[in-house]
Amino acid sequence: MSCFKVSESVDPGVTIIYNEFLDEYMGQANEIQLKVYLYLMRVLRVGKPTSVADIAEKFNFTDREVKKALSYWEKEGLLEVKKDRSRSVEGIRMLTPWYSATDAVYVEEEEEKREVKPEKPAKKVKQEESAAAGEDEDTAQILYLAEVYLGRPLTSTDTRSIIFISSELHFSPELADYLIQYCVQGGHKDMRYIEKTAIAWAERGVETASQAKLQVAPMDSSVYDVMNALGKSSKPTRAEIAFIEKWKDTYGFDLDMIMEACRKTVLATDSHRFNYADGILSKWHLEGFSSLSDVEKAEIDRKGQRIRAVRQGQGARKRTQSSSMRGDYDTGEIEKTLLSNGNY
């Protein structure tokens, strides 16, 4: 008896997105990653072939951005990318969250669409994570540390990130301890941020907590005081830190002077506040100010000069008005004229 394939005659007009994706994955992904995943689910629903170039053209992305998005979802365990010998993408297998590989379906390249046989059943992602954590004491220790520092139970996404940091980046518990502590103290409890920081350290060759401490010198608390004074609640950027270091180290200003400049800045502008404050402090540096009392004395002097200038202007106007009322007459000439006419 022959087999046949059942398909819908028209586009059903809907695309099913798993609640697991919405709850666990969507919040961590960026715009490009979300668009690529949702489009793959869309073309999968209707059996439409696609390609990296097709997706890039549709959303005005580059091929590189699409490939990076595919790698991201592959690491998240929601798809698998098949590549040919030239490392070009020839097929994508969409994976249902927490289900076995037998439930997966391929979205294939336009020119190489072919029937794909299901592979042997694989363990569920959660089972794989639990087994990996159970077999690796270092990973289990890092998982515990993460829960302590984050102050909450780890999500499945958090767990995958920890396993990646431990198994793929080969972070020791000591290095992972410092990593998570450093990120949390900086106000970042998002595991995606922690993972990106770990990748950056690994790329710099950081292998121990001591090396990591050399990479990230402790942030001076005064930096956050200045940030707050300028209305900034985010982590300072390198440019912002450079401004503050210039004011403190190059100009030699104490925190009181810097905070006064910040106060004047906030009253004057809502935008580009670091540049505006830098203008104030640079002027004070050129004028030779070394303390807040110098600034206050200069402001009193300038205020006095303005008052004197106003008074001088008022006196000049009064003299001009008085002169106009008398008229500008030469009395000597008038007397000579009268005598010559015999009238005096």
Q: Do 50 and 36 contact (CB within 8 A), yes or no?
A: no
Query: Is 279 a member of any domain?
Result: yes
In a domain, 13, yes or no: no
The answer to the question of residue 254 being in a domain is yes
Task: Indicate if the pLDDT at residue 150 is higher than 80.
Answer: yes
CATH number for the domain spanning 253: value is 1.10.10
Predicted local confidence at residue 259, as pLDDT = 94
CATH number of domain containing 58: 1.10.10.10
CB < 8 Å & 24+ apart, contacts of 89-98: 89/51, 89/52, 91/116, 92/40, 94/40, 94/41, 94/44, 96/18, 97/18, 97/20, 97/21, 97/24, 97/25, 97/125, 98/20, 98/124, 98/125, 98/126
**For strand 89-94 and strand 105-108, is the pairing parallel, antiparallel, or unpaired?**
antiparallel
Which residue range forms the structural domain that includes residue 259? 221-286
Out of 15-19, 124-128, 168-172, least confident range? 124-128
Residue 203 sits in the same domain as residue 255 = no
Cα atoms found within 13 Å of the Cα of residue 131, Cβ hemisphere only: 6
The answer to whether position 301 is within a domain reads no
Q: Which of 183, 215, 247 is the C-terminal boundary of a domain?
A: 215
Q: Looking at the 3D structure of the chain, how many domains does it have?
A: 3
pLDDT in tens, 116-148: 444 444 444 444 444 444 446 888 889 988 988
Domain identity same for 260 and 198? no
Residue 40 neighbours by CB distance under 10 Å: 20
Torsion of CA 148, 152, 156, 162, to 10 degrees: -20
The number of residues making up the chain comes to: 344
Say if 33 falls within a structural domain: yes
In a domain, 335, yes or no: no
The yes-or-no verdict on residue 218 having pLDDT over 70 is no
Pair 25, 104 in one domain: yes
pTM of the model: 0.34
Picking from 164, 198, 215, the residue at the C-terminal end of a domain is: 215
Residue 312 belongs to a domain: no
Same domain for 225 and 210, yes or no, is no
Residue-wise pLDDT for 70-119, tens only, equals 988 888 888 888 887 777 888 888 887 654 333 444 454 544 444 444 44
**Type of residue at 51:** S
In the listed set 261, 286, 311, which residue is the last one of a domain according to the structure?
A: 286
Question: Average per-residue pLDDT in the chain?
Answer: 78
Distance CA 300, CA 306 (A): 10
Claim to verify: residue 202 and residue 144 sit in the same structural domain: yes
Res 311: pLDDT: 75
Beta bridge partners of 93: 80, 106
The verdict on residue 227 lying in a domain is yes
Residue by residue, DSSP assigns 154-202 as: PPHHHHHHHHIIIIIS---HHHHHHHHHHHHHTT---HHHHHHHHHHHH
- pLDDT tens for each residue of 226-252: 999 999 887 787 788 889 989 988 899
